[in-house]
A and B are shown apart, each in its own frame.
Chain A
């Protein structure tokens, strides 16, 4: 059951998207998120969706893989959809007992849903096409200008990459502990929410103990392999802007400008 989580999964490949500099991809994802909030009409969304579709096709990541990333957020999606549909005031088009659905509510709900879906697809494409190390290396390099103001860029990136590395290990550990407790008669599946939450305590405490033991072992292993922070460290994968990266950056900013112009020209749908 815990194995279904696919957070930060990488889909190996060598498409042009895979080979882009991670910094370009991180910036692209951030810009895309900003653009999703700039857009205020359906034509704009259609343009964003089309751009996204082109990236997905070029990346050669199967659609089923991308859709899998949407599964865990279906509940959030439904929740925001319903909230918007019923909560926004305006012209009533449908009544359901005490609840009223308004035209504005329906449009806002659809808007938010599209926004969320595109947002998730956009960020999954980033993690699907970038190995965790490249991703955290990219973040480190993007944050490094702020080191002057005391931001520990290297440490943040190292912590993130270790967290990503140990998610599967900790999930396995949790699975093992759960099985061990079940073998002793623990019951995680029945009872009300309070009872179920309580039954998690015998899992969480051993899991914490394991996490500390793992952290201790790992710190030893890292030290014995001469880890001493970011100073003087070199990298297997050098990060250098190539022509394709520069061109991509130009395209990204032209697209951003296009989205802003589109917002000014086309009437808002909200």
Chain B
């Protein structure tokens, strides 16, 4: 499979100006990653480990201090292709309120295609289609501030989908949602992956990360682990060292094994564990 995103020795520094002069913060120190087209990658790591900074670099919102990023072959630092980069790799942010631009749902979804200069008739088709795909079509003429958090976030996803990106980067999309909103959003993310979109999901929730087919752990601006969820969660020592919990299902499976029940190592989600236990004789 081809790599839609290639990160080559990326470093990124923030310069923070204060009264005592300027201070350099090394938010990303030498990260190299390849993201194959159609994959579903979760990025986890504690606060301040550089996840959001990485995400903003992928989309050209921040430009690398060192190294480079290629999105579909375009260098994000190449001004001639910046709009191609942003159209190819869409981004959904954490706060659903602060990323909706218009006062009516369908106008907001239309914002991206409008910026791309898509003809009006096609914008209409795209808007209707993506609103249906996130189950928000009945709300198309409503005002966003009357919607629940989960619904707003789905509108934000629709707004990105309307630009027809091949890759979508989610930066903690469920962090401000209630459990029901989280489930709605995760269901959409899984569906997008099944439909062939490349998904990068930054999250603090291990049960969400477990649904990806690859997990990358970041700490202090570096990638310290990279593997399938099974491999990552088997390495409890690393997780504990950077104070990340294993998902409940993994913990359960681990304890069941201690009681002599041979739970296979690839059982990491709750559904799979439930299924296994129900069939266990």
Contact = CB atoms under 8 A, between A and B. Distances in A.
Interface string A124-166: 0000000111000000000000000000000000000110110
A213 B83 CA distance: 25
Given A132-B104, A222-B101, 12 more contacts: A10-B104, A10-B143, A131-B107, A133-B103, A161-B101, A161-B102, A165-B100, A168-B145, A169-B98, A221-B93, A226-B87, A227-B111
Interface in B101-134: 101-104, 106-107, 110-120, 123-124, 127
A226 B115 contact: yes
Contacts of B114: 233-236
A169 B163 CA distance: 26
A217 B98 contact: yes
Contacts, number: 103
Contact of B101 (A131, A165, A233): A165
Main SS class of interface, B: helix
B86 A223 contact: yes
A213 B98 CA distance: 9
Interface of B: 56, 59, 61, 83, 86-87, 90-91, 93, 95, 97-104, 106-107, 110-120, 123-124, 127, 141, 143-145, 159-160, 163
A12 interface: yes
Interface of A: 10, 12, 131-133, 161-162, 164-165, 168-169, 172, 213-214, 217-218, 220-228, 232-238
30 contacts: A10-B104, A133-B102, A133-B103, A133-B107, A161-B102, A165-B102, A165-B144, A169-B97, A169-B145, A172-B145, A213-B98, A220-B61, A220-B93, A221-B91, A221-B99, A222-B111, A224-B86, A225-B101, A225-B111, A225-B160, A226-B87, A226-B115, A226-B163, A227-B115, A233-B115, A234-B113, A234-B118, A236-B106, A236-B114, A238-B120
